Amino acid sequence: MRGKLILVFCVLLVSEALGHARLTDSSPAEGGTLSADPATVSLIFSEPLQPRFSDFALHFLGEEAEAAGTRDNRLPRQAPEVDPSRSRVEVALPTDASPGWYLLDWEVLAEDGHTTSGKLRFEFRP
């Protein structure tokens, strides 16, 4: 039994070491409301990123939270702010952002060479 527990522990350590950068926190949270000025979305990842090879696309969805992100509703790209540890990224909404729902599509390259992607849907109510 003890040997099995040691094996399980080793497998967990190896899988964590080989894991991709995961989104561990965001502000606002998925489905949450952003009311700060300036309007900035913060993403925190489990490990450092390669910012030059990561992509963040912001879409304005309007009043419908379930609308899709398309080229037609994608906002002009802005360079995200990346903290010195390269695990926290801040994406600013345009200064003239309209109230409503937004979708942030992201794809990041971790320092270990693996990519991870996801979406964050939030409401902006200044």
> DSSP state, 82?
E
Question: How far, in Å, CA of 61 to CA of 38, rounded?
Answer: 20
Average pLDDT of the segment spanning 83-92: 95
**88-92 β-sheet, strand order:** 23-27, 40-45, 88-92, 81-82
- 115, exposed or middle or buried, with CB in 10 Å at 0-12, 13-18, 19+? middle
Put simply, whether the predicted model's pTM sits higher than 0.85 gets the answer: no
Per DSSP bridges, beta strands 33-34 and 115-124 are: parallel
Question: How far, in Å, CA of 61 to CA of 82, rounded?
Answer: 25
Q: Are 103 and 69 in contact (CB under 8 A)?
A: yes
pLDDT exceeds cutoff 70 at 16: no
pLDDT exceeds cutoff 60 at 11: no
Domains of the chain: 2-124 (2.60.40.1220)
**Predicted pLDDT of residue 18:** 54
Alpha helices in the chain (DSSP H): 2-17
**Predicted pLDDT of residue 13:** 39
pLDDT exceeds cutoff 80 at 124: yes
Question: How far, in Å, CA of 20 to CA of 18, rounded?
Answer: 7
30-56 confidence digits (pLDDT tens): 999 999 877 999 999 999 999 999 999
> DSSP state, 113?
S
**Predicted pLDDT of residue 1:** 62
